[in-house]
Amino acid sequence: MKFRQISLICAMAVTIAGSVVLPAFGMAYETSVGMEAGDSPMDGNYAATNSGVSMDVSYGYEGNAKSGRYVPVNITLNSQLDSAFLGTVQAIAMESDYDIYQYEYPVSLDAFEVAEESLDIPVGRADVLFVKLLDSQGRELIRKRLKMNVSADIAELFVGVLSDEPETLSYMEGVGVNYSSVRIKTFEMDGAKMPDNVIGLDLLDVLVITDYDTKRLSADQVSAIWEWVKEGGTLLLGTGARADDTLYAFRSDILQEDYAPPSEKSVDMGVEYSVNGPGDSFMNLICADVSLKGGTGVLSNDEFPVLTSVSKGKGKIGVAAYDFVDIASFCQVQRSYVDKLFTALLGEAKLNNLSSYLYSGNSAQYWSVQNMLNTGDVDKLPDLILYAAVILGYILLVGPGLYLYLKKREQRKLYRTGVAAISLLFAAVVYLMGMGTRFKDTFFTYATILDTRSDYVDEYTYLNMRTPYNKAYTIALDPTYDLLPITRSSSYEMKPVPRFVGNEDFKVKISYGKDETRVSAQNAAAFTPKYYSLKKRTPNTDHKGLTGDITLFEGKVYGTVTNEYPFQVEKVGILMYGKMVAIEKLEPGETMNLEGLPVINYPINNSFLVSARVTGSYQYQKADIEDPAYMLALSRTNILSFYLDKYSSFYNPEARIVAFSKDQSDSQFLARGNYETYGMSMFTSTIDVKTKKGNETSRSALMKTPTVVSGQYYADSNAIYGVDPVALEYFLGNDLEVETLTFENPSDEFLNSESFYYTTIFKGSLYLYNHDTGNYDAMDPGKTAYKAWELTPYLSPGNTLTVKYVCDNTAENNWYVTLPMLTVTGRDK
């Protein structure tokens, strides 16, 4: 059987009375028998009589799915024919914009063969999916209507559980998180069947691995988990007595140093769980005290962090000191502890996004991709001055010019004929002038992000496919790419949801073959945009990339960066959470010393401003679409802004190096065909940033999201609702003896500049909470750095600092105010 397969289901099916029951993720569907071709039962299922092949389908995780995700669809085909069978499996889905998308996979079965495959299908609305089996002549043999279990009233947090005792973790099922705005739904994962491709994990929001030996996972499975985390997934690891087993596959990438053997410790689960006294909330648990690279404690005990997390790309990894199996008895009684755990790890911003996605769907990504791809090829712009000159010449010639000429020659009777001839001549001239500005066939606008690591390169290409005519078209794409349509939700337009019965004509058909992936569109108006996400991973055999050794200490950058690409890169930006170093260009093989280069503080709440500073588009005082240099800078700004929004998290301990090149590979995603393409490629690399010098550490105090004491604070942008006072508690870390605390605002070039649309920076009174007096003390508004002796009354025993911000009443637009970034420097304990 030759599907373009994603993963193979290893367990054999059990055949019972003409149906096949799959022991995989979803529920089984029996093959309808005894029906004549053309029958259409009410439930949507259909099977032709004596077709000689049966098909059974299951989907999702236990029949559950989510809109805008890849959904695993498990298919079993059983041939009773004494000859080979060739055909096609079709999956038909309605996207969020109500267009019908059809996916086709080739099928081949030997005589009497039983084959099992798992396909990952992009499903838009994710409520109904039709799966059909066609023969080699395109005749429908079997149809399955899959009604998916999709929650419409409350957002769900899909949690996969990989454990030797998964039933013990059932206490997580159904728990409401973040004031019950999100509900946990758990699924037992089988390590032997874990996907080895990132899209196989796309349906999950969180993957919990505890009481499990990760040495049993293959290298491809571990690589898929890492890529899934980088794209926004959350990996939660339990340790306890089996810490070595659970951490094995991940320890080299996340652990800062070796840890002591796990030992029994008394863990305070929280005073809120005390019944008869404070001692009720303590549990004796086997714990491992691990230290993560760039990690911060999000749940702490009196002596050690209970849960530590670190950001990786857009996602996050959390490591608990205990095994989640060991706290089962406690959590079965105190289920709100699960809420506390997941809220602390994921953060309210991410949980709120899950809630909003329930209503808005994938529209946010649609609009951001559209914004990134809204620039075009300036060579297609007509020369307005030339057109104006031609039109003016035509008016002068066909009017007084021709008339006076014929009058002088006393041939005025030829005027009408002359007007017609001149009009035809100028029509031909205008047509020829427009040859270079017209599209003759399907054309593409694209943006490609090449994220390079030491051993592989991840390519993310976003594509806008259009045609200049109202006719169907077919494009052949490189089959090594994973393809996902990007559509917007039509629900906000208050359109009624069309009936979907599986017989509708497709709007887009995607056919997967060995040599190409064909995308066919029909019934599309001219220039209607169709957006797609393409991605693939390739080995980095040539060791290309941007490499370096970077130290960030007390606002200064040290170390080097090297261009390992065989071509020059330009507009290089080194971004380190609120701090930036900009380099104009790097030649092939060039190494640049970073010491002494200007360090620019940037606001983290406006990715467009940051991108414009890197690419140089901020230097243009106004838009000029006829200037190729401006359009190039704008295209680069758009793709970098999209990258920062999609692949960068609130706090990331790594440096992101971004760069551009004048060398573009315009048609790398095409399998064949000579089409017009226009777009932009961006090169990125990620490098660990050192924050130590000797026995001192300098780092951002926002490694852990501040606790809101009062007022409204937006953690993902470090901004406040400035109308009311806002008090925040910052955690500076129990591992430091604080020496200096610095409040840093964005650099002056980001302020009061028309090209940066003016960022509102906090102006007003700043107060620190005094633990000795119990009052807030006013600070000098011009003071930005505080020494240890000045902070003594304001630091709590847990090394926290509470700051109150009161904006000036005269501040403009003070409803959304950017706060300073706090940097703490101290000696390691």
Contact 644, 577 (CB under 8 A): no
DSSP for 43-90, please give it.
TS-EE-TT-SEEEEEEETBTTB--TTEEEEEEEEEEE--SS-EEEEEE
What token pair was written down for 290? Answer: 């691990």
Residue 560 confidence (pLDDT): 94
Band of the pLDDT at 29, cuts 50, 70, 90? Answer: very low
pLDDT (mean) for 480-496: 78
Separation between Cα atoms, residue 142 and residue 88, nearest integer Å: 11
Separation between Cα atoms, residue 89 and residue 811, nearest integer Å: 62
Contact 827, 696 (CB under 8 A): yes
Band of the pLDDT at 1, cuts 50, 70, 90? Answer: very low
Report the chain's terminal Cα–Cα distance, integer Å. 61
Residue 232 confidence (pLDDT): 86
Separation between Cα atoms, residue 553 and residue 697, nearest integer Å: 7
Contact 617, 582 (CB under 8 A): no
Query: What is the distance of C-alpha 202 from the center of its chain?
Result: 11
Q: Would you say the C-alpha torsion 409, 410, 415, 417 has a positive or negative sign? A: negative
Separation between Cα atoms, residue 460 and residue 669, nearest integer Å: 11
Residue 247 confidence (pLDDT): 94
Least confident of 208-222, 617-631, 749-763, 782-796: 749-763
Separation between Cα atoms, residue 698 and residue 329, nearest integer Å: 41
The C-alpha angle with vertex 269 and arms to 265 and 270, in degrees rounded to 5, equals: 135
pTM of the predicted model as reported, rounded to 2 decimal places: 0.81
Question: Quick count: other Cβ atoms within 10 Å of Cβ 5?
Answer: 15
Which residues make Cβ contacts (< 8 Å) with residue 148, sequence separation at least 6? 59, 60, 63, 64, 65, 71, 123, 126, 127, 128, 129
Residue 43 confidence (pLDDT): 57
Band of the pLDDT at 3, cuts 50, 70, 90? Answer: very low
Q: Determine the 3-state secondary structure of 12 from DSSP.
A: coil
DSSP assignment letter at 792: G
Residue 332 confidence (pLDDT): 92
- The backbone region for 546, taken as left when phi is positive above 0, alpha when psi lies in -120 to 50, beta otherwise, is beta
Average predicted confidence (pLDDT) for the chain: 83
Residue 757 confidence (pLDDT): 55
Residue 287 confidence (pLDDT): 93
| Structural domains in the chain, sorted by start | 14-147 (2.60.40.10), 155-360 (3.40.50), 383-433 (no CATH), 435-470+525-690 (no CATH), 696-828 (2.60.120)
Q: Which of 171, 209, 408, 421 is nearest to 317 (CA)?
A: 209
Site of tokens 């999209």: 642
Site of tokens 């230097």: 619
Which residues make Cβ contacts (< 8 Å) with residue 403, sequence separation at least 6? 412, 415
Residue 666 confidence (pLDDT): 62
Long-range contacts of 491-494 (CB under 8 A, 24+ apart): 491/96, 491/359, 491/360, 491/361, 492/360, 492/363
Residue 51 confidence (pLDDT): 81
DSSP for 151-192, please give it.
-SSSEEEEEEEE-SSGGGGGGGTT-EETTTTEEEEEEE--GG
Contact 1, 118 (CB under 8 A): no
What token pair was written down for 531? Answer: 């957006």
> Which phi and psi (to 5°) does residue 225 adopt?
-65, -45
Beta strand segments in 745-799, E? 764-770, 775-778, 785-787
Least confident of 43-52, 178-187, 544-553: 43-52
Q: Which of 92, 88, 91 is nearest to 139 (CA)?
A: 88
pLDDT (mean) for 711-725: 85
Question: Quick count: other Cβ atoms within 10 Å of Cβ 514?
Answer: 9
Which residues make Cβ contacts (< 8 Å) with residue 104, sequence separation at least 6? 88, 89, 90, 509, 510, 511, 512
Separation between Cα atoms, residue 261 and residue 240, nearest integer Å: 10
Q: Would you say the C-alpha torsion 675, 678, 679, 681 has a positive or negative sign? A: positive
Residue 726 confidence (pLDDT): 92
